[in-house]
Amino acid sequence: MSDRLDEVDKRILYHLMRDARNISAAKIADEVSVSPGTIRNRISQLEEAGIVRGYHAVIDYPRADGRLTNLYLCTSPVPDRDRLSKQATEIPGVVGIRQLMKGQRNIHITAVGDDMSELNRIANDISKLGLEIEEENLLQGEQRFPYHKFGPDDTQDGHTIADFMELSGGAEVVELTVDSGTDIAGLTLSEANEMGLLQYKDLVVSVERDDEILTPRGDTTIQPDDLITLFCQNGLNEPTVDSFTVR
């Protein structure tokens, strides 16, 4: 079962994929209008859920003493695919393995060697496992890019909607970020209700602040960089959006 990601999670993943070494929690927080503590807590949650599985250096092996990188396209019987993939990781020189769902060429093995002789040795070791090498090629280069759908959306027009989920009957669960320039920032929930900034059928479900999930009460003060979860019985309406929009 997959884990549902909200827009804050997606933006974190986008920036980690783009440049995990140089991005900071503060930079991501500034972009999505939450606190750095919230970003750090979300990153920990993504790691614990196994969505972020590690941070790896991208090595240019030809620049590292002229080493060669080879891609082996192999076929494994489907029932043996996991076992053979795991065994292939033990071969000296193997630096990456990709499994495909299809039956032919369903294991791709990337390996690095000092010269062609070493790449031939790796090929022999792969074959000894019972994998059939269908094709192999020297890699000239490889690039990785962040997934664009996790990135910034230029169509938000200043609104701070972080995420929403439609429910039956027209209801919605909505996440809204709080910027210091919004009407609701600095008010208690009671004050926001009295001023009509929250509609009477909108229920504040939770307030996420740094590494805490606060249970909302009438005297709970909405602070800049909070992430508010609302249950909107009739769907999110424009007056509520305006309350969370920088003017």
116-151 pLDDT, tens per residue?
Answer: 999 999 999 999 999 999 999 999 888 889 999 999
Q: Is residue 193 part of a domain?
A: yes
The pLDDT assigned to 78 comes to 92
CATH of the domain at 94: 3.30.70.920
- Based on the domain organization, do 24 and 48 belong to the same domain? yes
Backbone angles phi, psi at 105, to 5 degrees: 50, 45
Q: Answer yes or no: are the C-beta atoms of 76 and 101 closer than 8 Å.
A: no
The pLDDT assigned to 17 comes to 95
- Based on the domain organization, do 174 and 191 belong to the same domain? yes
pLDDT tens-place string over residues 25-59: 999 999 888 999 999 999 999 999 999 999 998 89
pLDDT tens-place string over residues 178-220: 988 899 999 999 999 999 998 888 899 999 999 999 999 999 9
Domain residue limits at 35: 7-55
Of the chain, the end-to-end C-alpha distance in Å amounts to 41
Angular region, 210: left φ>0, alpha ψ -120 to 50, beta rest:
left
* pTM (two decimals): 0.85
- Based on the domain organization, do 128 and 173 belong to the same domain? no
Q: How many domains does the chain have?
A: 3
- Based on the domain organization, do 115 and 170 belong to the same domain? no
